[in-house]
Amino acid sequence: MVRIRPLQPEDWPATWRIMEPVVRAGETLPFDPAMDAEGGHAVWVEAALQAFVAVAADGGVLGTYHIKPNGPTLAAHVCNCGYVVAATARRQGIGSLLFSHSQDQALALGFRAMQFNLVVSTNTAAVQAWQHNGMVVVGTLPGAFHHRRLGFVDAHVMYKILKSD
């Protein structure tokens, strides 16, 4: 059983352990590949409204997501989320579990829509997973992501209306 719960300070070492290789790779997240655990905490936890972890029955961290407003006051009804799934826990539906939790959380926090600003086009597994969860590619930014291995690649802006009344 996978459980999703708020990220506690004592979760950070295990959370960073699954994030670090993703950051180092520089293929999906825009952060400095040389970032350290403290820098990671600043962008993932301190800069967010809330952060969560998905934990296995044995307490191991399988994934994490954070949620924050995507812009200032007049754009603050749209949230932005980021997700990381441990390399050892891919293709088990953890990403969709995290997405579903984040969508419920977004609604509970009063957000009306969800926006991803920079979904790397070469990360086709992510693009497809988000589309499967109702996120729509509203536009593609030419060369907007500096992929560490492939150079400048396109990135998608994805969006989902959560509440339209």
Neighbours of 125 (CB within 10 A): 11
Could you say which of 14, 18, 43, 79 contacts a second copy (CB under 8 A)? 43
Could you say which of 24, 30, 49, 122 contacts a second copy (CB under 8 A)? 30
* Least gap, CB of 106 to a second copy (angstroms): 14
Does position 117 bind a second copy by CB under 8 A? yes
Q: State the DSSP H helix or E strand holding residue 147, giving kind and residue range, or none if neither.
A: strand 136-147
Q: Which residues contact 137 (CB under 8 A, 6 or more apart)?
A: 119, 127, 131, 156, 157, 158
3-state secondary structure of 125: helix
Does position 44 bind a second copy by CB under 8 A? no
Strands (E), 7-125: 50-55, 61-69, 78-85, 113-120
Span 119-138, contacts to a second copy by CB under 8 A: 137-138
Part of the chain binding a second copy (CB under 8 A), chosen from 3-11, 69-77, 97-105, 124-132: 69-77
Does position 37 bind a second copy by CB under 8 A? no
Q: Which residues contact 129 (CB under 8 A, 6 or more apart)?
A: 95, 96, 99
Residue nearer to a second copy on the CB measure, 2 or 137: 137
Asked if residue 79 lies in contact with residue 90, where contact means CB atoms within 8 angstroms, the answer is no
Could you say which of 37, 49, 107, 141 contacts a second copy (CB under 8 A)? 141
Residue nearer to a second copy on the CB measure, 10 or 165: 165
Could you say which of 10, 72, 91, 108 contacts a second copy (CB under 8 A)? 72
Residue 9 CA neighbour count, 13 Å, CB half: 0
Using CB under 8 A as the criterion, which residues of the chain lie in contact with a second copy when the complex forms? Answer: 26, 29-33, 43, 71-78, 112-113, 115, 117-118, 137-148, 152, 155, 157, 159, 161, 164
